[in-house]
């Protein structure tokens, strides 16, 4: 029996909710703000924008990241663009439409009020970014340029070449450092959060490890904000950075914060395939390639010919065959799943038979090499840099790869988790994307959370903390938390087994990819849960980490992250097992139509699954947040 939880959505019609909230939210007067201290974990778009905005308001902020500079958070890698409702193209965009696109893209598994607010706040972000000096693409006239992105019919994507995330992040980073220079923000680079400190289900601070000196440090604050990004790296091979992790959210989860829809992971269809067992990450190639590239596999499994020598009659353009109207432009989840199906059925190409072809021969013939060069020149260069292959002469090889976590810490309308004073923003929360995220919506969400929502909702919470002194770091709770962290780190070193954290990570990642990845089944999930449990037990006794805790020790850092992944992985599988429907990226093989399309079950599963830690990773407790749709009618996503 699951409990139902409420999201504290404000009263009023959809379009008035956020205004109503702001009108009634409690405030903190400027002279009180400097007495209040806030911890922000993460310096990505969400963390940096939140930390900068809060400091500008006058709060004392401590900002943490594990990289050597805040500017390196993985938001930096986002290429495509950021959505915003400006309707500069006069092509019929509106808040309502953006709201609907997002909700539909997410297969109606997101909260109406949050999604609407995201669309409402989107325009202001572009203003802010431009004022910060973000060099968005422009028309000859000097006005901002837009392009369209998958899953929508309007052009609302703003972009800065293929480096939109980098440019937005630098804007937020610079704002953050400006506050540092003013003494309002203290930045802790190369620091990893290893524990959340709570008293009476209220966040009081964190324990961190200084990754250079190894020192375990205590930090107290009136509120803690987690902006630690996505955990797609759990699959080991992903488009995420090597250091991306679930530790911040997982340690919070173990202190009582609910985890929502953890199994919902978006797989990107156009990343580069693995080339060997040494492979550490999969590079994303922009999805725009699918505008002119045709995806195919040989009809004959054993066809070992060079792709250029395979005649048309022996090729299967499976996307064009299965989805005649969208063809190669089918949405991410569908394109990814179709590729995996071909690979699983033995039609994969390349040395490891793990890829499909993305072919530009026709486009080059029809449009000319110069046009293709102009459109995708930099992507072709990048492809050649990595693979050594010239895609003008030979089709690219691509494969789907883990990319974005729709799941994360459960938060209410205030972005507050189920622990008082603990907020989660950006990709770290379960957010506004439902069961599938639309391209270019997550940079937006990270920014909107940090610049425009948290400053109000956090203040609403902090107003209740004005007369409370900053928690003391010498309290017993802090001392105990620090001890626990130290003991745990020491345990990793003492295990002295035979396998490195990376070896475990690869094994775990492969299990998840195969059984809790692009498609899931009851049988597979039941099987893999056992496997994960077995591997987790082995990890505890057979881990090999050298060195000591009081110096730079990357392997030790990895060990902690993998330990958390092992527990989270099981929760992901349990979550996937629990949801007996297919929706968005969550494809349960048992729930598909005769044509192989996802079949949603709105009667039984129109809810957010929020899991509570019970002390036993195999027995989490399920809470449900009912999703109520008053402003849209639920339709079936169809791309055939």
Partner 1 sequence: MPMKLQLKIWRQKNSDDLGKFNTYELKDLNPAMSFLEMLDTLNLQLIKNKEEPVEFDHDCREGICGQCGVMINGIAHGEPKNITTCQLHLREFKDGDTIVIEPFRAKAFPVLKDLKVDRSAFDTLIASGGYIGVETGQAPEANTTPIPQEIAEQAFDAAACIGCGACVATCKNESAALFVGAKISHLASLPQGKAEREKRVLNMVNRMDELKFGHCTNTEACQVECPQDISVLHIAKLNYEYLRAKFKK
Residues in the site for ligand FAD, rule: CB under 6 A?
41-47, 64-67, 73-75, 77-82, 164-165, 192-193, 227-230, 239-240, 245, 247-248, 284, 403-404, 426-428, 440-444, 446
Q: Give the residue with the Cβ less far from ligand FAD, 185 or 240.
A: 240
Query: 77 or 632: whose CB is closer to partner 1?
Result: 77
Binding residues for partner 1, total number by CB under 8 A: 79
Q: Which of 180, 442, 459, 585 binds partner 1 (CB under 8 A)?
A: 180
User: Which residues are part of the catalytic machinery?
Assistant: 332
Considering the rule CB under 8 A, would residue 566 count as an interface residue with partner 1? no
In the 8-state DSSP scheme, what is residue 202? Answer: E
Q: Which is nearer to partner 1, 170 or 221 (CB)?
A: 170
Answer whether 508's CB lies under 8 Å from 236's CB. Answer: yes
Decide if residue 304 touches partner 1 (CB under 8 A): no
User: Would you say 78 or 528 has its CB closer to ligand FAD?
Assistant: 78
Write each residue from 87 to 106 as x if it is in contact with partner 1 (CB under 8 A), else as -, in one continuous string.
-x------------------
- C-beta of residue 319 within 8 angstroms of C-beta of residue 335: yes
CB 569, min distance to partner 1, A: 22
Q: Does 183 bind partner 1 (CB under 8 A)?
A: no
Return the C-alpha torsion angle 230, 233, 237, 239, nearest 10: 30
**CB of 140 or CB of 306, closer to partner 1:** 140
**128 belongs to the binding site for partner 1 (CB under 8 A):** yes
Specify the residue, 560 or 620, whose C-beta has the smaller distance to partner 1: 560
Which region among 323-331, 410-418, 449-457, 587-595 touches partner 1 (by CB under 8 A)? 449-457
Question: Which of 135, 377, 497, 596 is the binder for partner 1 (CB under 8 A)?
Answer: 135
| Cα 416–Cα 420–Cα 425 angle in degrees, nearest 5 | 25
CA distance linking residue 371 with residue 135, whole number of Å: 25
Beta strands, E only, 340-438: 356-359, 396-405, 408-409, 422-424
Binding of partner 1 at residue 23 (CB under 8 A)? no
Q: Which of 476, 457, 512 is nearest to 246 (CA)?
A: 512
Q: Which residues contact 98 (CB under 8 A, 6 or more apart)?
A: 83, 85, 119, 122, 156
Q: Under the criterion CB under 8 A, does residue 222 sit at the interface with partner 1?
A: no
Instruction: Spell out, one character per residue from 385 to 414, where the chain touches partner 1: x when CB under 8 A holds, - when not.
Output: xxxx--------------------------
> 61 has which bridge partners?
38, 185
| Residue whose CB is less far from ligand FAD, 267 or 296 | 267
Contacts of 341 (CB under 8 A, 6+ apart): none
SS3 breakdown of the chain: % helix, strand, coil, rounded to 5? 40, 20, 40
Interaction of residue 77 with partner 1, rule CB under 8 A:
yes
At what angle are helices 45-57 and 164-181 packed, to 10 degrees?
A: 30
- Selection from partner 1, ligand FAD, none that 82 binds (CB < 5 to 8 A by kind) is ligand FAD
Which of positions 47-76 make contact with partner 1 (CB under 8 A)?
49, 52-53, 56, 67-72, 74, 76
Alpha-carbon gap, residue 29 to 632, rounded angstroms: 39
* Partner that binds at residue 245, options partner 1, ligand FAD, none, CB closer than 5 to 8 Å by kind: ligand FAD
Minimum Å gap between C-beta 68 and ligand FAD is 10
What is the greatest pairwise CA distance in the chain?
77
Q: How far apart are CA 640 and CA 378, in angstroms?
A: 32
Tell me the closest approach of the beta carbon of residue 559 to partner 1, in angstroms.
12
Look at residue 231 and give the partner it binds from partner 1, ligand FAD, none, a contact being a CB closer than 5 to 8 Å depending on partner kind.
Answer: none
- What CA–CA distances, in Å, run from 397 to 282, 308, 356, 362? 12, 13, 6, 16
Q: What is the dihedral of CA 328, 329, 333, 336, to 10 degrees?
A: 30
Between 398 and 446, whose beta carbon lies closer to ligand FAD?
A: 446
Do residues 329 and 439 touch, judged by C-beta distance below 8 A? no
- What is the pattern of x (binds partner 1, CB under 8 A) and - over residues 530-549? --------------x-xx--
- Dihedral sign for Cα atoms in the order 286, 315, 337, 352: negative
Q: Which of 97, 178, 470, 510 binds partner 1 (CB under 8 A)?
A: 178
Window 461-500: residues binding partner 1 (CB under 8 A): 498, 500
CB atoms under 10 Å from CB of 265, counted, come to: 27
Coil, helix or strand at residue 475 = coil
Q: Choose one: 448-456, 485-493, 527-535, 611-619; the region binding partner 1 (CB under 8 A).
A: 448-456
Query: Element (H or E) spanning 63, and its range?
Result: strand 60-64
């Amino acid at each position: 029996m699951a409990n139902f939880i409420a999201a504290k959505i404000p009263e009023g019609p959809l379009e008035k909710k956020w205004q109503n909230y702001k009108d009634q939210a409690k405030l903190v007067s400027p002279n009180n703000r400097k007495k209040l201290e806030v911890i922000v974990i993460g310096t990505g778009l969400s963390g940096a924008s939140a930390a900068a905005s809060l400091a500008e308001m006058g709060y004392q902020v401590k900002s943490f990241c594990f990289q050597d500079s805040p500017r390196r958070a993985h938001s930096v890698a986002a290429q495509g663009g950021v959505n915003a409702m400006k309707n500069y193209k006069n092509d019929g965009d509106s808040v309502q439409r953006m709201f609907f696109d997002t909700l539909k893209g997410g297969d109606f598994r997101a909260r109406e009020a949050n999604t609407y607010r995201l669309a409402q706040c989107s325009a202001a972000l572009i203003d802010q970014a431009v004022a910060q000096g973000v060099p968005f693409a422009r028309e000859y006239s000097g006005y901002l340029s837009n392009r369209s992105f998958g899953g929508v019919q309007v052009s609302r994507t703003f972009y800065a070449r293929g480096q939109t995330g980098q440019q937005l992040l630098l804007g937020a980073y610079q704002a953050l450092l400006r506050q540092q220079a003013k003494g309002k923000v203290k930045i802790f680079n190369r620091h990893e959060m290893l524990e959340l400190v709570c008293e009476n289900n209220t966040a009081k601070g964190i324990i961190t490890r200084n990754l250079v000196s190894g020192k375990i440090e205590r930090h107290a604050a009136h509120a803690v904000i987690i902006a630690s990004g996505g955990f797609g790296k759990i699959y080991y091979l992903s488009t995420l950075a090597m250091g991306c992790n679930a530790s911040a959210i997982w340690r919070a989860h173990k202190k009582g914060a609910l985890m929502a829809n953890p199994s919902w992971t978006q797989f990107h269809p156009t990343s580069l395939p693995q080339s060997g067992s040494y492979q550490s990450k999969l590079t994303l190639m922009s999805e725009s390639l699918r505008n002119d590239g045709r995806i195919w596999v040989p009809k004959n499994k054993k066809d070992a010919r060079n792709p250029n020598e395979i005649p048309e009659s022996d090729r299967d353009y499976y996307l064009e065959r299965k989805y005649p109207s969208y063809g190669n432009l089918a949405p991410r989840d569908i394109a990814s799943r179709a590729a995996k199906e071909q690979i699983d059925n033995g039609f994969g190409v390349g040395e490891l038979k793990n890829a499909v072809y993305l072919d530009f021969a026709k486009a080059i013939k029809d449009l000319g090499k110069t046009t293709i060069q102009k459109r995708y020149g930099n992507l072709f260069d990048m492809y050649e840099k990595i693979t050594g292959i010239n895609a003008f002469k030979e089709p690219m090889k691509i494969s789907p790869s883990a990319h974005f976590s729709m799941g994360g810490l459960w938060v209410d309308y205030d972005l507050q988790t189920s622990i008082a004073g603990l907020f989660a923003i950006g990709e770290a929360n379960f957010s506004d994307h439902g069961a599938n995220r639309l391209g270019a919506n997550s940079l937006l969400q990270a920014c909107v959370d940090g610049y425009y929502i948290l400053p109000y909702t956090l203040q609403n919470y902090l107003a209740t903390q004005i007369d409370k002194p900053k928690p003391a770091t010498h309290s017993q709770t802090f001392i105990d938390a620090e001890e626990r962290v130290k003991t745990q780190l020491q345990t990793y070193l003492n295990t002295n087994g035979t396998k490195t954290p990376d070896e475990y990570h690869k094994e775990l990642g492969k299990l998840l990819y195969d059984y809790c990845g692009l498609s899931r089944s009851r049988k597979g999930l039941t099987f893999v849960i056992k496997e994960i449990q077995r591997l987790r037990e082995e990890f505890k006794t057979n881990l090999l980490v050298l060195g000591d805790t009081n110096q730079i020790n990357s392997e030790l850092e990895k060990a902690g992250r993998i330990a958390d992944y092992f527990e989270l992985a099981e929760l992901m599988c349990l979550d996937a097992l629990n949801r007996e429907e297919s929706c968005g990226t969550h494809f349960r093989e048992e729930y598909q139509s005769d044509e192989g399309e996802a079949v949603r079950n709105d009667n039984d599963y129109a809810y957010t699954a929020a899991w509570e830690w019970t002390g036993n990773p195999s027995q989490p407790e399920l809470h449900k947040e009912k999703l109520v749709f008053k402003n849209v009618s639920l339709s079936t996503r169809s791309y055939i």
